[in-house]
Amino acid sequence: MRIPLSEHPAVIAIAVLVIGLLVWGFWPQPIAIEPVVVQRAPLTITIEEEGRSRVIDRYVISAPVAGVACRVQLDVGDPVQQGEVLLGITPLKSQVLDSRSRAQAIAAVAAAQSALAAAKEQASATDAAARLATTELQRLQPLALKGLASKVELDRAETTVLTSAAEKRSATFNVQVANYELQAAKSVLEYSADTRGEPAVRVPVISPITGKILKVLRECEGPVETGDPLLEVGDPTALEVEVDVLSADAVQIKPGMQVRFERWGGDQPLLGVVRMVEPVGFTKFSALGVEEQRVLIISDFTSPAEDWQRLGDGYRVEAKFVLWREENVLQVPASSVFRYGDGWAVFVVDGQRAQRREVAIGQRNGLVAQISAGLDEGDTVINHPSDEVEDGVRVESR
């Protein structure tokens, strides 16, 4: 005898519950996503590399004569003045100069005199160039304020002033070095020409510039040959920064470009400007053993000197070369953009569903990408879309 189901409501309820659970279990669930709102913000494109500071003008002081050098009483960091006697060298007894040696010594003095004259002429030329660059900058500044001169022309003029000033300092130091070399040549002729038995006169080794001792190459007393390096001096208050970058990045960097120096030990980043991109590259192996072609970029500080005077020769800095910057850029995270066909696309959250939308992108810095077309400010896109996200699927925020 068959019993009607209407007489067993419990069976019906269980069957309905099972069917409902099956439908609920197999019903497509929304995919959890990370939504990001499209917004406008500043965007900067940079090239980041490690560099180091270095003294612009450094000089290796060598022994002017062969002899016995006294013990060096100076330490690294000690200040020295131009013309100060750093140490003395007692020359070895020498034979009376023959005619050929005397002629060579006289020729060396004449060559040193000519080099000094050439250095003075070069210093005059760099001084004139520096005055012209300053005059040009003073002429362009009021024109730039009135909008009659472009910012590029003003930046180029400021860079020229910095470059000409550095060249003037180098030319001045070259004059001092040429004068020092002339004195050294004269001392060779003076102290080596007479051997009548008088006590040897100690030859003084003097500093060509005012600065500090950067390196003591020979500290103990002992014999030296002509040309042996003894000390290294320089002015640590005149610093520049050298940064080696990949040659593919170096072609994007130009003189006059802004650069920021970070992680140098101070509280605030330092500002600078690119002075020179060296035209010769070199090979360097990375930490992974990959052979790379790199180029040195030389930059000057534009921040006030008191901000970076704590830096010294060979200090590490992190340089950021600013290739491009705008203050109001429509942008999305770079991780939300993916390749689609021959272009780019993003998933836009439309209600509770994902909608694929093709976009045009501009500049990118690895973290964010500029949107040139396809999105509006305030749109919501999916960051890090997984393989489960497709056009039209239901989504929900995590």
Domains and CATH numbers, the chain: 31-40+327-397 (2.40.420.20), 46-54+237-326 (2.40.30.170), 58-234 (2.40.50.100)
* Chain centre distance of CA 261: 7
> What is the C-alpha to C-alpha distance for residues 125 and 372, in angstroms, rounded to an integer?
50
Model confidence pLDDT, tens digit, residues 125-149: 888 888 887 887 777 777 777 776 7
Assign residue 142 a region (left: φ > 0; alpha: ψ between -120 and 50; beta: otherwise).
alpha
Q: Is the pLDDT of residue 341 over 80?
A: yes
Phi then psi for residue 318, to 5 deg, are -115, 115
pLDDT over 70 percentage in the chain: 88
Please indicate, yes or no, whether the overall pTM of this predicted structure exceeds 0.75.
Answer: no
Mean pLDDT of 91-105: 66
Per-residue model confidence as pLDDT tens digits over 60-70: 988 888 888 88
Nearest C-alpha neighbor of 322 from the set 282, 262, 247, 370: 262
Please determine, for residue 96, whether its predicted confidence score (pLDDT) is greater than 60: no
User: Which pLDDT value is given to residue 152?
Assistant: 76
